[in-house]
């Protein structure tokens, strides 16, 4: 994606996200303005009555519960062997523990499962439907995810954006070498054969349709600890154009954050996205009935090009 295309995407996103607010002028450069939410607070809380905000109870996107503005649990994200940052809906303590950079790093090779929580029923408890399974396969393969559908499952791969150490070493032996370009986006073919792209705009992940319209579907806002501005939890905002693709957005968001932030983002990125988590009480869920994704565990591995699986 060239700089000109990125600038065009930023301008169109800015017009879409800020243009409807008369009291706030659209920023000239979306890449510089997106993380500075306090400057455009009136246009961000909320922007449109038909948007949906899913708040992350635990700021770690790979081990959390996503709740609506009304506090209704909508999705759970669980990562196996995730230690103190693990969240379980049927945990007797009903507490989300403080995670951090160390616990986030330990999730590199763990399996992450995303489940949709159906309407709470007093007799049945929360009914969980598995909608996605995410697995990190190594520095060369990246992350593999499977979205579970009613009729069939769809699989995707997020390739690594940093060249493997062996490739970097070979480049260093050359007399003239260019510094590897870090691609902080992920473009893929999704529902109805449309192209989608998760893109980091100044550390703010945005999902858009990857065509000339650059229609934004969702974006993620990091937590604030409240030193300069008002404290808040992290949240994923589903924009009007993405309300029909919420399951799809949530699963691809978790996979993108796992690969691009927790694995490739470095210590500072992990700290920014996970360290602000703190113990929060969650309403007891009684029993949990799970609807597994057919053939979802484990994800079948495919042989890597020119090597063993």
Bigger pLDDT: 260 vs 203: 260
Query: What burial class does residue 226 get, using C-beta atoms within 10 Å of its C-beta: 0-12 exposed, 13-18 middle, 19+ buried?
Result: exposed
- How far apart are alpha carbons 265 and 105 in whole angstroms? 11
Bigger pLDDT: 39 vs 78: 78
Instruction: Classify residue 126: in a domain, yes or no.
Output: yes
Among 60-64, 189-193, 260-264, 281-285, the range scoring the smallest mean pLDDT is 281-285
pLDDT at residue 206 is higher than 80: yes
Per-residue pLDDT tens digits for 69-85: 999 999 999 998 644 44
- C-alpha closest to that of 133 among 66, 84, 80: 80
pLDDT of residue 226: 74
State in Å, rounded, how far the first CA of the chain is from the last one.
Answer: 31
Residues 191-205 have a mean pLDDT of 90
Which residue range(s) make up the domain with 142?
A: 52-81+109-162+221-234+247-265
Tokens 């017009």 correspond to: 15
pLDDT at residue 277 is higher than 80: no
Instruction: Classify residue 77: in a domain, yes or no.
Output: yes
Instruction: Classify residue 73: in a domain, yes or no.
Output: yes
The two tokens of residue 118 are 């159906």
Element of type H or E holding 273: helix 266-274
What's the full length of the chain, in residues?
A: 309
pLDDT of residue 170: 53
Residue 138: half-sphere exposure toward Cβ, Cα within 13 Å: 9
**Partner residues linked to 127 by β-bridges:** 289
Instruction: Classify residue 253: in a domain, yes or no.
Output: yes
Residue ranges in the chain assigned as alpha helix (H): 3-18, 30-33, 41-44, 101-105, 165-172, 246-256, 266-274
Bigger pLDDT: 80 vs 286: 80
Per-residue pLDDT tens digits for 136-155: 998 889 999 999 988 889 99
Contact by Cβ (8 Å): 149, 132: no
pLDDT at residue 286 is higher than 60: no
Contact by Cβ (8 Å): 71, 95: no
pLDDT at residue 223 is higher than 70: yes
How many structural domains does the chain have? 1
pLDDT of residue 305: 46
């Amino acid at each position: 994606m060239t700089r000109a295309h990125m600038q065009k995407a930023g301008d169109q996103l800015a017009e879409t996200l800020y243009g409807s607010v008369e009291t706030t002028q659209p920023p000239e450069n979306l890449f510089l303005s997106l993380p500075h939410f306090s400057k455009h607070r009136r246009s961000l809380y909320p922007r449109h009555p038909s948007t949906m905000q899913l708040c992350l109870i635990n700021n770690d996107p790979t081990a959390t519960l996503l709740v609506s503005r009304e506090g209704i649990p909508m999705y759970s994200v669980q990562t196996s062997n995730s230690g103190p940052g693990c969240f379980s809906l049927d945990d007797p303590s009903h507490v989300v523990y403080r995670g951090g950079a160390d616990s986030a790093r330990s999730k590199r090779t763990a399996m992450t499962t995303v489940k949709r929580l159906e309407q709470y029923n007093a007799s049945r408890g929360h009914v969980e439907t598995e909608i996605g399974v995410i697995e990190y396969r190594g520095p060369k393969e990246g992350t593999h995810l499977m979205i579970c559908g009613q009729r069939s499952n769809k699989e995707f791969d997020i390739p690594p954006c940093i060249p493997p150490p062996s490739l970097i070493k070979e480049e260093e032996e050359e007399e003239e070498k260019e510094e590897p370009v870090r691609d902080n986006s992920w473009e893929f073919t999704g529902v109805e054969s449309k192209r989608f792209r998760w893109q980091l705009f100044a550390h703010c992940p945005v999902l858009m349709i990857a065509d000339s319209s650059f229609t934004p579907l969702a974006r993620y806002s990091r937590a604030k600890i409240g030193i300069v501005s008002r404290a808040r939890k992290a949240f994923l905002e589903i924009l009007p154009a993405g309300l029909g693709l919420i399951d799809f957005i949530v699963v691809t968001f978790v996979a993108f954050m796992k690969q691009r932030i927790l694995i490739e983002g470095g210590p500072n990125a992990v700290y920014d996205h996970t360290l602000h988590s703190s113990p929060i009480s969650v309403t007891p869920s009684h029993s949990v009935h799970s609807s597994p994704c057919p053939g979802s565990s484990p994800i079948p591995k495919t042989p890597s090009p020119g090597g063993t699986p």
